[in-house]
Structures are given as structure tokens and as C-alpha cells.
């Protein structure tokens, strides 16, 4: 918590955060990015990290470290942005696949609903209703 207090007291919080991340982090990428993860979507992070990060406003730092399967994290949100919708050309194959799956599942459900199911025993004789259960 000493480092969290140092962050709260710092005049240049962003610079202090980067400095502290570089000094204290055990993440191997700290030398390259000083703890800066860049922009990411909620789905790209593990649940605990995402919930904490997306509950904060720009300029806020977690009051206590957040525990995830990867260890403990002090999170500072420096900025937010909304991502642009993908271009149709980028997602048309995924849309086509999803639509095909939906149509196929609807057809399967329709066929199952209209099907007459008969069950047979090991000798090929039709089973009676009470034997089917």
C-alpha cells in the first residue's frame, strides 16, 4: 500500500505511476511499456481486472491492488475511448457463418418437432411406452 499512497501524493501522477510500475512491477514487459497496457476492450482482460478497470473513470487509480490469476495489479485509467464498429468487409465472413449456424439450428429444431420417434430393443422389436423410460 505504500506505493499506492505514493501514487496518490504525487504531483505528476502519470509519471509517478510509470516510474513505480518500472521499479516495482514483476511483469517482464515493464521495461518496454512502464505498465502502460494501451487501449483494450473488457473482453480482452480477465474478469477481475476488467471489472475494476471499467468501473473507474479516466484519471482514477485503484484504491487497493486487484488480484487476478496473474498476480496483483494497481490499475490507473488514463483515458477512455469507444471503439469504432468494424467495417462490413472485416466481419462479413463471421456474419455469414453465424447466420448459417442459426438457419441450420432452426431447421434442426423444426425437423425434431415434426419427427415421429420410434425406439426398438436389441432384437429390433418396437419398445412399449413404459420400456422407453
Bigger pLDDT: 113 vs 128: 113
Q: Write down the pLDDT at residue 36.
A: 82
Cα separations in angstroms, 121 against 42, 117, 128, 130: 53, 14, 9, 13
- The rounded distance, in Å, linking the Cα atoms of 14 and 19 is 9
* Intra-chain end-to-end CA distance of the chain, in Å: 62
What is the per-residue pLDDT across 49-98, written as a single tens digit (0 to 9) for each?
999 999 999 888 888 888 999 888 888 898 888 888 889 999 999 999 99
Q: Are 105 and 114 in contact (CB under 8 A)?
A: no
Q: For 65-120, where are the alpha helices, taking DSSP H only? A: 88-114
Q: Write down the pLDDT at residue 47.
A: 94
Structural domain boundaries in the chain: 2-73, 88-132
pTM of the full structure: 0.51
Which CATH code, of 3.40.50.300, 3.90.1170.50, 3.10.50.40, 3.30.365.10, is assigned to 2-73?
Answer: 3.10.50.40
Q: Write down the pLDDT at residue 12.
A: 43
Amino acid at each position: 500500500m505504500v506505493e499506492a499512497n505514493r501514487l496518490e501524493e504525487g504531483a505528476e501522477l502519470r509519471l509517478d505511476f510509470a516510474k513505480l510500475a518500472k521499479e516495482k512491477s514483476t511483469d517482464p514487459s515493464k521495461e518496454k511499456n512502464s505498465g502502460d497496457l494501451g487501449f483494450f476492450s473488457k473482453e480482452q482482460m480477465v474478469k477481475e481486472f476488467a471489472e475494476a478497470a471499467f468501473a473507474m473513470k479516466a484519471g482514477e487509480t485503484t484504491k487497493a491492488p486487484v488480484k487476478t490469476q496473474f498476480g496483483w495489479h494497481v490499475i490507473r485509467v488514463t483515458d477512455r475511448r469507444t471503439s469504432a464498429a468494424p467495417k462490413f468487409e472485416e466481419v462479413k465472413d463471421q456474419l455469414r457463418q453465424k447466420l448459417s449456424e442459426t438457419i441450420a439450428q432452426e431447421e434442426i429444431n423444426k425437423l425434431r418437432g415434426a419427427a415421429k420417434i420410434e425406439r426398438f430393443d436389441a432384437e429390433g422389436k418396437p419398445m412399449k411406452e413404459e420400456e422407453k423410460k
